[in-house]
Amino acid sequence: MLGDLPQTLDVGGKAYRIRSDFRSILRIIAAFADDDLTGQEKVYVALRQVYREFDQLPPEQYGEAYERAMWFINCGEQPTESHTPQIVDWLHDEQMIFPAVNKAAAQEVRLVSYMHWWTFMGFFRSIDREDTYGYVLMLRQKRAQGKPLEKWEAEFWNRNRDICDLHMNASSGAEAEDALAEIYRELLKGG
């Protein structure tokens, strides 16, 4: 229904309770950026972190469970086939993200005991372009699209490379997909 915030995800015709607080999803994002974790470990972290009743999930439904978890993390949107360049580095940008989200939410979001991921993302998407982080995102998007920066934008970028340059691991999503394929292969071997 319009406006509902999911608290469960359906997998194999059964509703499983989920951890919907924004902190849970940020832990998954941190795991996906961790070069020390294998693709399988990243998928495991995602499933374990999202599903409160992970131990009740049948292993043959891990693929569907992962797809539903990614749907939830994408705020109910299906991933598109076209490649969209990444402009957010959740770990490196943390010190800019929270002040900008706090401004949009008119409160310190880290102090609230619970905030649904979709609500958090609503505030994130409301970040003002006039805010430092909003400006950095706009510059990153321009560069990702191959558009030239105006002279003053290039000057800002060059003076603030530490906050403007992306530092994220670009392969984390592909590794997770490879790991999911490996899990499928292992399940097929098992019978």
pLDDT at site 169: 56
Residues in the chain: 191
> Scanning the structure block, which residue is given the tokens 């706009």?
138
Q: What is the pTM of this model?
A: 0.83
pLDDT of the chain, 191 residues: tens digit per residue: 477 899 999 999 999 999 999 999 999 999 999 999 999 999 999 999 999 999 999 999 999 999 999 999 999 987 665 567 789 999 999 999 999 999 999 999 999 999 999 999 999 999 998 899 999 999 999 999 999 999 999 999 999 999 999 876 544 455 555 555 555 444 444 44
CA–CA separation, 48 and 176 (whole Å): 14
Q: Given this model, what pLDDT does residue 188 score?
A: 46
Instruction: Report whether 126 contacts 104 (CB < 8 A).
Output: yes
- pLDDT for res 119: 97
Q: For residues 116 and 132, what is the distance between their CA atoms, to the nearest angstrom?
A: 25
Distance CA 101, CA 65 (A): 29
- Decide: 112 and 90 in contact? Cβ < 8 Å: no
Cα 12-14-18 angle, rounded to 5 deg: 105
Contact present, 98 and 107 (Cβ < 8 Å): no
Asked if residue 75 lies in contact with residue 118, where contact means CB atoms within 8 angstroms, the answer is yes
Q: What is the pLDDT of residue 112?
A: 97
Say what the pLDDT of residue 190 is. 46
2 half-sphere exposure, CB direction, 13 A CA radius:
0
